[in-house]
Amino acid sequence: MLDYIDKIKEISERLLKDCSVEMVIGFRKGTLPMMNEPCFARTPEDVGQFVWDSNCGINLANYLTDRKERIGIVAKGCDTRNIATHIIENKISREQLVVIGVPCKGMIDKHKIATLFADEIQTVTENGEKILVTAGGKETPLNKSDVLQKNCAVCTHRNPVFYDELAAEKVEEQQDVDRYADVQEIEAMDTQEKWDYFESLLSPCIRCYACKNACPLCYCPTCFVDEAKPQWVGKGQDPTDVRTFHFLRAFHCAGRCTDCGACERACPVGINMRVFTKKLEKDCFEQFGWEAGMSLDERPPLDTYRPNDPNDFIK
Amino acid sequence: MNLMEHMGIESDRIHFSWISSAESTKFVKVVKEVTEKVKALGPQQHFKKNDAKVA
């Protein structure tokens, strides 16, 4: 994946030089290992900062909301699906965008890698399928496939769904993955076990809202958690309020979530809140045959009526 | 509703029904069913905030 960068830079530079876009959104190296940050290149010179490696897990569609200028955007498979969702929801228009599609081989899980080492991690470099981690002065090689983000390991849409430019040859999609193994595991529990599972899952939550800030779907000018009149949910650390926040946020993402993993990646305490959104993603797939962001022409299941919509739950 | 059930709320606590204003008998039937099912489960322990303790 490292070799994509030359092509990304070349395309971005060309777009900025011929003024077909006013800015290109990509990634640059962050100040900490495994923390690439968004980079907004407005001049061809800025493009020099761009990087591409296995730490580009942030979903850049998040930075497109209500933008008025013409934008070039570096987009993985999941990013393009979120861009499609943005277009469907009138948050940006297709004509404004030049999508630089990047076929993706998965991003690495910084939480998982951090837990593998007792010392602070100084550098993380990669070479094909090998990840080289330096912690406490010692180098340790890891297999990339062992430290993939959980959503990347079961991803079936690695290639951009739509694009104007492509940074590399398309990659092979994963075929034999059980996308919903984690959801099924919870479904098999009894009611009390389920409750306890989520209770312990959310117990470290500090309500920092990093998950909703990283999520490209969470673009409401005022989130329900910030409203005071009426106050929908308490603002403290009460477990009921914490649960209400995660649970309602997941519902707001129903039929829109692409399982890009940005929420989990952003969490400072490493909560896998994807188990909420993933359940809704599974339901949408099973009940409506819907996968978010796969087309620019199809309306999502929550704003269309079909006579055969499942309605067994209404008595 | 599936997500409610998924995170540990008993499905018998959640009911959906479509009742016309002319369907009084159906209304009574549904209300009876709902109360019976909820009574069988007993008081809800989860998703409930207790009043702050005042000394």
Quick: pLDDT tens for A14-31: 999 999 999 999 999 999
Distance CA A245, CA A254 (A): 15
β-pairing verdict for A130-135 and A121-127: antiparallel
In a domain? residue B52: no
Confidence band (pLDDT; 50, 70, 90) for A62? Answer: very high
For the cut 70, the answer to whether the pLDDT of residue A94 exceeds it is yes
In a domain? residue B54: no
Q: Tell me the average pLDDT across A275-294.
A: 92
Whole-number pLDDT of residue A236:
87
Q: What is the pLDDT of residues A296-306, one digit of tens each?
A: 999 999 889 98
Q: How far is B24 from chain A (nearest CA, A)?
A: 15
Q: According to the 3-state scheme, what is the secondary structure of A109-133?
A: CHHHHHHHCCCCEEEEEEECCEEEE
Taking CB atoms and an 8 Å limit, are A314 and B49 in contact across chains? no
Q: Tell me the average pLDDT across A267-286.
A: 93
Taking CB atoms and an 8 Å limit, are A247 and B7 in contact across chains? yes
> Mean pLDDT score of chain A, rounded to an integer?
92
In a domain? residue B23: yes
Domain span at residue B27 reads 2-41
A-chain CB neighbours of B15 within 8 Å are: 315
CB A42 within 8 A of CB A25: no
Taking CB atoms and an 8 Å limit, are B6 and A251 in contact across chains? no
Distance CA A70, CA A43 (A): 14
Q: Which of A49-58, A177-186, A268-277, B46-55 has the lowest mean pLDDT?
A: B46-55
CB A89 within 8 A of CB A64: no
Whole-number pLDDT of residue B55:
66
Q: Tell me the average pLDDT across A268-278.
A: 93
Interface of B with A (CB under 8 A): 1-3, 6-10, 15-18, 30, 33, 46-49
Confidence band (pLDDT; 50, 70, 90) for B46? Answer: confident
Facing B16 at nearest CB: one of A191, A283, A314 = A314
Sign of the Cα torsion B38, B43, B48, B49 reads: positive
Q: Within its chain, how far is the Cα of B2 from the centroid?
A: 14
In a domain? residue B48: no
Taking CB atoms and an 8 Å limit, are A198 and B33 in contact across chains? no
Helix axes of A274-288 and A239-252: crossing angle, nearest 10 degrees = 40
Number of domains in chain B: 1
In a domain? residue B47: no
Distance CA B40, CA B11 (A): 12
CB A112 within 8 A of CB A85: no
Q: Which of A240, A87, A183 is nearest to B3 (CA)?
A: A183
The ipTM (two decimal places) reads 0.84
Q: How far is A263 from chain B (nearest CA, A)?
A: 18
* Residue of B3, B4, B7 to mutate, testing the A interface (most A Cβ within 10 Å of its Cβ): B7
Q: Tell me the average pLDDT across A140-165.
A: 93
Taking CB atoms and an 8 Å limit, are A195 and B46 in contact across chains? yes
Q: What is the pLDDT of residues A121-136, one digit of tens each?
A: 999 999 888 999 999 8
In a domain? residue B8: yes
Q: Is A138 exposed, middle or buried (0-12, 13-18, 19+ CB in 10 A)?
A: exposed
In a domain? residue B35: yes
Q: What is the pLDDT of residues B2-35, one digit of tens each?
A: 888 898 889 899 999 999 999 999 999 999 999 9
In a domain? residue B46: no
